[in-house]
Amino acid sequence: MEASGLAAAACLFHGFSDPSRIAILRHLALGEHRVVDLTAHLGLAQSTVSKHLACLRGCGLVTARPEGRATVYTLNHAEALMDLWAAAERLLAATGDAVALCPNYGTATLPTAQDARDAR
């Protein structure tokens, strides 16, 4: 893969770097939705959903079409995204906690000695 391809891949994966964007994409896999539908289903603020949908549109992962006074969002490339989710689940299963414990991007922390004492 050439440098331009690597940069494009990094941009694509950056689009998946927020849990809210992943939740929106996974929900859109169920069918098209308006922002109000997504906020109700996902428990996110309207501004948060709108911001993430703008990012996903910019990445070419969703499209929008007007419907009356609302905008309806649809998932692009649904089959390719389902393949990506399946591959991600296999990779996560293979790496175990390593991704969550990553010192740069992980969200979990290693247990401390105090945690072990508290567990007793």
The answer to whether the beta carbons of residues 108 and 99 sit under 8 Å apart is no
Give domain limits for the chain. 1-76, 79-120
- pTM, two decimals, is 0.79
Q: Is the pLDDT of residue 40 over 70?
A: yes
Q: Is the pLDDT of residue 107 over 80?
A: no
The SS3 of residue 60 is: coil
The answer to whether the beta carbons of residues 46 and 36 sit under 8 Å apart is yes
**CATH hierarchy code of domain 1-76:** 1.10.10.10
pLDDT in tens, 53-102: 999 999 899 999 999 999 999 999 999 999 999 998 999 889 887 887 77
- Please give the pLDDT value at position 2: 87
Mean pLDDT score across all residues of the chain = 87
